[in-house]
Structure 1
């Protein structure tokens, strides 16, 4: 691309530091590094940890419900579940009344891992430098942002859909 077509300095709205998306992306990368350190002793990746968190909250959801809770499609979730099953932390069973539904249940090893994972949230909170109250406010703001983005995405998808 020929730089002569561009202004000497881009408008502030087109700089990297002005982008909300980059602030979120780079914060997510930094958060991922912290989680990797805290999860290494548990033998889990961050996405695997998220699956385990959902199962520790309520054992036995369907794969579909688990995917909805984590905002993951089945192509992403299935390999995670297979790996966690290979680690002996969960099992998948087809529902007796509807073979299309697969439930995900913790194994005894998966339940035991919950006890070992107890220090992870506090370690991550310490790394953020946030007080518990500030972390709650920040989390609520991010959840509100996610809701707005999901709604906007749905609106854009509806506009793009042929009539």
Structure 2
């Protein structure tokens, strides 16, 4: 079967993770995500890259957010993220969607987002606030540069 594996590996004191050697033995060049390096022309990965399925994008977004928050998303926050993602991926067709598009949609959800579950639009906005703040940190905070734009050319997702 054609399978793809992704390992997120924290780096050690030597600047590489424990999976680095395994990757090298398999002939795989590890991708190193570093906010400082990314701002200086390093690697950037777009969780909304069109080469990733929409289901995969949403799962990746959830994982990134949950790691940044230090806990899982509750049902309401997950719903707000899901409808923001659905709106962004279906309406932005002239370019590659990026995290800032999700942040904006979480801050200013469309009425259709609330209608789908028969809830008030202000509830959807409130449910997505913490998610928007976490993503804002990746777009405009101390973690910017790693996930806040199109995927670096040459990276095969």
Whether TM exceeds 0.5 here: the answer is no
Q: Give the number of the structure with larger relative contact order, counting CA–CA contacts within 8 Å between residues 6 or more apart.
A: 2
Greater fraction helix: 1
Q: Give me the TM-score of the superposition, normalised by structure 2.
A: 0.33
Greater fraction strand: 1
Q: Answer with 1 or 2: which has the greater Rg.
A: 1
Q: Give me the TM-score of the superposition, normalised by structure 1.
A: 0.33
